[in-house]
Structure 1
Amino acid sequence: MAKIALITGATSGIGEACANVFARERYDLIITGRRMDRLEKLADFLKFEYNVNVRILNFDVRDRETTVGNLENLPEEWKKVNVLINNAGLSQGLEPINEGSYDDWDRMIDTNVKGLLYVSKVVSNWMIANGFGHIINLGSIAGKEVYANGNVYCATKHAVDALNKAMRIDLLPHGIKVTAVHPGAVETEFSEVRFKGDKDRAKKVYEGFEPLVAADVAETIWFCASRPPHVNVNDLLLMPTAQSGGANIFRKQE
């Protein structure tokens, strides 16, 4: 019987890379995201390439009613989730606190914290009932350190760090594993989203050094998920070789 992985925010970047890695490892998949066209394209590819079953759930994790409804309406056989990857998350803007946008703050808090909670509550109850499960939360170096103008994004990722620890305590009696993977600079759509479609500004973030790519993070997540039942990776910080901290990157001069 195939295992099942549920991946939020699977339409691009780390989420999409995780879908490929877990499908390669013979997991059936539940993939969620806001962009239905991308979900359908990814599902078709995974079915063809890896011969796995894929279930699509098209919703925004910020919407509690829709999130919970989509999850709870899954057939019972799809609720036997072995691994939940709480990947959905984003950053909006890069301004000092006094110049920040209320809308940007709401979007980050609603996605990165509340969305993670909505999904985790539903799926953790399935795992408790099933007697098995592993929750993997996508954090960030921004959840370990604070950098200039990162204020609210850093706050949301610090919240993920705290929730990861709290979830591990709460779910410990049920034998549910809980892990956080905290990447440093990863070249995905992250900066393009942060800068609201400004591709030139986003590209400059990764100039002069070799950042991580989504596959690096996905393979690390797979490492955590593939440990024996008695082994749990509580917390893992993953950085490019050129980066030592949140804002400390060695860039080669042209």
Structure 2
Amino acid sequence: MTAQDAPTTAARTAVITGASSGIGAATARQLAAAGFQVVVTARRKDRVEALAAELTAAGHRATAYPLDITDRAAVDAFAASLDRCDVLVNNAGGALGADPVATGDPEDWRRMYETNVIGTLHITQALLPALTAGGDGTVVVLSSTAGHGTYEGGAGYVAAKHAEHVLAETLRLEIVGTPVRVIEVAPGLVKTEEFATTRFRGDTEKAARVYAGVAEPLTADDVADTVTWAVTRPSHVNIDLLVVRPRAQASNTKLHREQ
């Protein structure tokens, strides 16, 4: 299939994982507005059903499917339920803790790896046949700048995101020549309603300190806009890696904070 023969977004389905809040929900809204039929998945049934209802009420095509991507049997059942899949946005993930290597909880590391890496592997494997069969598929991996640099107190999350980056990079090598492209979007400092709070186990004061003095961190909409732009490039154009940070952030360890 050539770029000219590729179906319009009106005939295409995008699956978004981790769509119950933050970047996932924002991406679902923007892809729906771009004309995709969106399938929103996450563990929180009430959240994804409310999002699908919101989008449907706005005149978009949306369905909800509660899903834990660490459960392979559930992922396979989900894949079998779809008529087609043209875009997969691997957004589900997250961070737990900010402990040094010497005292980090191995269970936190395990949970982060299971969600960020194995979960991404599960659903990508399950949907790759459909993405290929459609003749113009796109796999998006929402990694992080943590997957491209290190910082103190972040080793568990950094290790998981490095692995997710390598998964995307290796998949791109392995499926070159097929009608599926692999896009990695690596956000820097993004302020969402849950990410930092979850990382610090509900400690809102610690979460707030992550963004203290930063006038304009990225928003979920900023990242969703980036994903939507990358996905809607002509079929022959692949955005291998797009790093997006707020202007105040020069690296994982260099952040301008106003006094």
Common fold: TM-score over 0.5: yes
Amino acid corresponding to residue 237 of structure 1 in structure 2: V
Alignment partners' CA distance in 1, 2:11 and 2:71: 30
- 1:185-229 Cα shifts (integer Å, max 9, x gaps): 000111011001111211111110121000000000011011111
SS at match of 1:236: strand
Instruction: Select the residue among 179, 187, 191 that pairs with 1:175.
Output: 179
Residue 57 in 1 paired to residue 61 in 2? Answer: no
Give me the CA root mean square deviation. Answer: 1.1
Structure 1 residue 152: Cα displacement:
1.4
Say which is worse superposed, 56-65 or 149-158, in terms of deviation.
56-65
Aligned counterpart, 1:21: 30
Say which is worse superposed, 5-14 or 195-204, in terms of deviation.
195-204
Aligned counterpart, 1:90: 94
Aligned counterpart, 2:17: 8
Structure 1 residue 145: Cα displacement:
0.2
SS at match of 1:9: coil
- 1:54-95 Cα shifts (integer Å, max 9, x gaps): 2222121112222222222x14x2xx2121100001000000
SS at match of 1:107: helix
Higher helix share: 1
Alignment partners' CA distance in 2, 1:155 and 1:57: 29
Q: Is the 8 A contact 2:87 2:131 kept in 1?
A: no
Residue correspondence of structure 1 range 218-229 to structure 2 within 5 A: 218-229=224-235
Amino acid corresponding to residue 232 of structure 2 in structure 1: S
Aligned counterpart, 1:69: 77
Q: Which runs of 5+ in 2 are unaligned?
A: 1-9
Structure 1 residue 131: Cα displacement:
1.9
Alignment partners' CA distance in 1, 2:200 and 2:101: 16
Residue correspondence of structure 1 range 120-199 to structure 2 within 5 A: 120-188=124-192, 189-199=194-204
Identity of aligned residues (%): 38
* Segments ≥4 residues shifted beyond 6 Å: none
- 1:148-201 Cα shifts (integer Å, max 9, x gaps): 011111011111111111111112121211010000000011101100111121
Q: Is the 8 A contact 2:86 2:134 kept in 1?
A: no
Residue 100 in 1 paired to residue 109 in 2? Answer: no
Amino acid corresponding to residue 191 of structure 1 in structure 2: A
TM-score (norm 2): 0.93
Structure 1 residue 40: Cα displacement:
1.1
Structure 1 residue 53: Cα displacement:
2.4
Alignment partners' CA distance in 2, 1:8 and 1:16: 9
